A and B are shown apart, each in its own frame.
Chain A
């Protein structure tokens, strides 16, 4: 049996945020935090918490109940953000193109490796993974997308927990945990169809 991690947060398909309640083996709905309907959550530099709204807008959680719009980053409407271990911020634009955020704004890397993407993720070793708009998964090696050998599911997103285990959201909104050979279907946690998973870092 795969246990639901104690530090799991998620964004539901209604843009609301939920989290596990480990003591009671339950799930709680935190609602549309700050009044935003969200696509995803990401941890930026200095553990700041970024959110991407359903309009592709980017905000940073200010710790007292609101999102602070990131005016400069909002020059792109994005699907998601991810920080590589080297501190570089990567984004996937709403057209499935890839960008990196630098001192001069978004640097457009276009349709990266020939794939239009839903999202990007980095494992703890800094290897980049991509989920294509067909739900396919690739691992970026030697300048191209390669087969990561992560099963046969079609995915909406992929992430890694603090132990390095891959987790995903399938295209049915169900949650999967990689058991070393296949995706273990965790199902619809709390009855939710998920958009995104986020593991709270250790504090």
Chain B
């Protein structure tokens, strides 16, 4: 398994952001970018970067910092994600799910009966949820079913561009999926306790 993938970005538990420097196998601390302590990050197909602060506030990264004017508003959030059809999903601080439409959050409640930490999509568009107990579900036929990503309690789940699943365990450690289980990559990101991982577009 390649540890040091290109364009890996993460949030530490202090809300600071780190990035991978692949040729040096090194992690670089960007600090609390834009002055925000962050909880999660998301990237939209148009390249916009959404940040969710630890106060549940949402911003879009622009020149000079976080812009809030065009950002979804009205809820305090744990996380955001763009679905494959472009739909913007938010997980509220109460674990409920919202869909951003017509400039407002439409409350979907506790999707499938779960209170959630976050939602993720794999590259084929399959939807996954991480419950507040650290469990992972796969959304099939309007319900959460066993995802197959078993064995750990996790804080978040994401996928790189090859489709490999990655997670942050509840101990702040990083897992890389290598069937049939998670490989514990520990705290290879500079020794940080992690809160979030994000892969940007592949480098050209």
Contact = CB atoms under 8 A, between A and B. Distances in A.
Interface of A: 5-7, 9, 17, 19, 21-26, 28-30, 33, 49, 61, 63-65, 162, 200, 202-203
Contacts of A24: 9, 17, 30, 33, 49, 61
Contact of B204 (A26, A30, A61, A162): A162
A64 B21 CA distance: 12
Given A24-B33, A28-B28, A9 B23 contact: yes
B78 to A, nearest CB: 20
B198 interface: yes
B25 interface: yes
Interface residues of B, number: 23
Given A200-B203, A203-B6, 14 more contacts: A5-B204, A7-B203, A17-B24, A22-B201, A23-B200, A24-B9, A24-B33, A24-B49, A28-B28, A33-B26, A61-B24, A65-B26, A162-B204, A200-B22
B28 A30 contact: yes
Interface in B52-69: 61, 63
Nearest to B62: A25
A65 B26 CA distance: 8
A28 B49 CA distance: 18
Interface of B: 6-7, 9, 17, 19, 21-26, 28, 30, 33, 43, 49, 61, 63, 198, 200-201, 203-204
B80 to A, nearest CB: 15
A21 B19 contact: yes
A49 B17 CA distance: 26
B30 A21 contact: yes
22 contacts: A6-B7, A6-B201, A7-B203, A9-B23, A21-B19, A22-B7, A22-B201, A22-B203, A23-B198, A24-B30, A24-B61, A26-B33, A28-B19, A28-B28, A28-B30, A30-B21, A30-B26, A65-B25, A200-B23, A200-B203, A203-B6, A203-B22
A23 B49 contact: yes
Nearest to B63: A25
B203 A202 contact: yes
Contacts of B22: 200, 203
Contacts of A21: 9, 19, 30
A134 B8 CA distance: 41
Contacts of A63: 25
A61 B23 CA distance: 9
A203 B203 CA distance: 9
A150 to B, nearest CB: 23
A19 B21 CA distance: 8
Contact of A26 (B7, B30, B198): B30
Contacts of A202: 203
- Counting from the closest, the 5 A-B pairs by CB-CB distance are A23-B200, A6-B203, A28-B28, A7-B203, A21-B19
Contacts of B33: 24, 26
A47 to B, nearest CB: 9
A23 to B, nearest CB: 4
Contacts of A19: 21, 28
Contacts of B201: 6, 22
Nearest to A163: B204
Contacts of B63: 25
A54 to B, nearest CB: 18
A41 to B, nearest CB: 8
Contacts of A17: 24
Nearest to B199: A23
Contact of B23 (A5, A23, A49, A162): A49
